[in-house]
Amino acid sequence: GENVEQHPSTLSVQEGDSAVIKCTYSDSASNYFPWYKQELGKGPQLIIDIRSNVGEKKDQRIAVTLNKTAKHFSLHITETQPEDSAVYFCAAGQGAQKLVFGQGTRLTINP
Binding region for another protein (CB under 8 A): 32, 34, 36, 41-46, 49, 51, 89, 93, 95-96, 98-99, 101-104
- The residue among 10 and 67 lying less far from another protein, judged by its C-beta, is 10
C-alpha span between 46 and 89 (Å, rounded): 10
Q: What's the closest the beta carbon of residue 33 comes to another protein, in angstroms?
A: 10
Q: What's the closest the beta carbon of residue 88 comes to another protein, in angstroms?
A: 11
- The residue among 2 and 78 lying less far from another protein, judged by its C-beta, is 2
Q: What's the closest the beta carbon of residue 16 comes to another protein, in angstroms?
A: 27
- The residue among 84 and 88 lying less far from another protein, judged by its C-beta, is 88
